[in-house]
Amino acid sequence: MRLPFGLDQLEDRAREHLSRGAQGYFSDAAYSDAAGLFTTARENEAAWQHWYLRPRVLVDVSEIRTETSILGTPTRMPILAAPCAYNAFAHPDAELAVARATAGVGAIHVVSTAASKPPEEIARAAAADRWFQLYSDIDAGKTDERLRMAEDVGFKAVVLTVDAPVGAPRYHGYPEQGFGPVATANVLDPGLEWGEVERIAKQTDLPLVLKGILHPADAILAVAHGVAGVVVSNHGGRQLDGAIPTAFALPPIVGAVDGQIEVYVDGGVRSARDVMRALALGARAVLIGRPYLWALAIAGEEGVRELFGRLCDELRNAMMLTGQVDVASIDRDIVVPRPGSSYASPER
């Protein structure tokens, strides 16, 4: 075992392996008060604990199925590696290590537009199904070039990030990369709107997923515009501080799309119990970001492989203890809100 016994200790252990700048970049959130107790980044983690698990008993759990399909792609677990920029700040093998690790455990890797390694090299690192995260560029020609590249190297889906028409102020970690008090990355498109979503969809045969949906009305529009799925996400608290935690945003969006498209969620997922909560609230799968960066910093490819393997094993255990036998059909009523929560009646 290369990682700490408690996965909640990952970040502290990773600090021993990261430079101050890298730690600042990966942990950073939006605005100058990001070190406070009530930022979105921190609230994301806390919000999952507002949902209690309510087990069923006397269920035959001798056979448990964590395998599922995501946009038709078979996967060993409903857990994806979220798109995270500059993995080389954590480990010199960067996204190559993540690609090999996720391929080895049967998880989908979503590769960032701002990856440290070229997408073609990442695709060659291991034979596996992976997705490509896309930012819409001010120059539509560059957007289309990225789409063609994603198709040419064999990515299976495109994940368009829609919650970043402009970067939010960040004050810690690698300001030389364009992050800091001004935080206006040149590639971001403040003119991104539904017409561009339609244009991008027409430029590729790959399924299109929108990442950064928090409002049910936008989820309904996503269905109307023919996308294949949405990721309920607030960018890990790195965009609008004060945005709704994803654990609370998820149920109304699941209700709004009503099974017409797949729904995924990221933000603050730190344990297999959080994965269970997300699945019970209607997510098809979850994405994790910072945890695998910390595992990458601690032990490279083997650290990432161990993290996903442990999450899958612990998910299997949590399923047995809640009387659930298939991740594709988790009972909705095994999660209940903490008494007094304003989300006492999840919208479906």
Which pLDDT tens digit goes with each residue over 136-195?
Answer: 988 999 999 999 999 999 999 999 999 988 777 776 665 444 433 333 355 678 889 999
Query: Longest C-alpha distance within the chain, in Å?
Result: 59
pTM score of the predicted model: 0.93
Residues forming beta bridges with residue 231, ordered by sequence position: 211, 264
Gap between the Cα atoms of 247 and 25, Å rounded: 24
Q: What is the pLDDT of residues 295-327, one digit of tens each?
A: 999 999 999 999 999 999 999 999 999 999 999
Backbone phi, then psi, for 80, in 5-degree steps? -110, 155
CB 234, CB 44: distance < 8 Å = yes
Q: How confident is the model at residue 228 (pLDDT cuts 50, 70, 90)?
A: very high
Q: How confident is the model at residue 345 (pLDDT cuts 50, 70, 90)?
A: very low
How far apart, in Å, do the first and last CA atoms of the chain sit?
Answer: 40
Query: Amino acid letter at 332?
Result: R
Our answer to whether residue 235 is catalytic in this structure is: yes
Task: Give the pLDDT score at 99.
Answer: 98
Tell me: pLDDT of 15 over 80.
yes
Catalytic residue among 50, 109, 172, 235: 235
Residues 6 or more apart whose CB falls under 8 angstroms from that of 340 comprise none
CB 94, CB 116: distance < 8 Å = yes
CA 237 to mean position of chain CA atoms: 12
Q: How confident is the model at residue 348 (pLDDT cuts 50, 70, 90)?
A: very low
Gap between the Cα atoms of 288 and 269, Å rounded: 6
Tell me the residue ranges of DSSP E strands in 17-67: 51-53
CB 130, CB 123: distance < 8 Å = yes
Domains assigned to the chain: 7-336 (3.20.20.70)
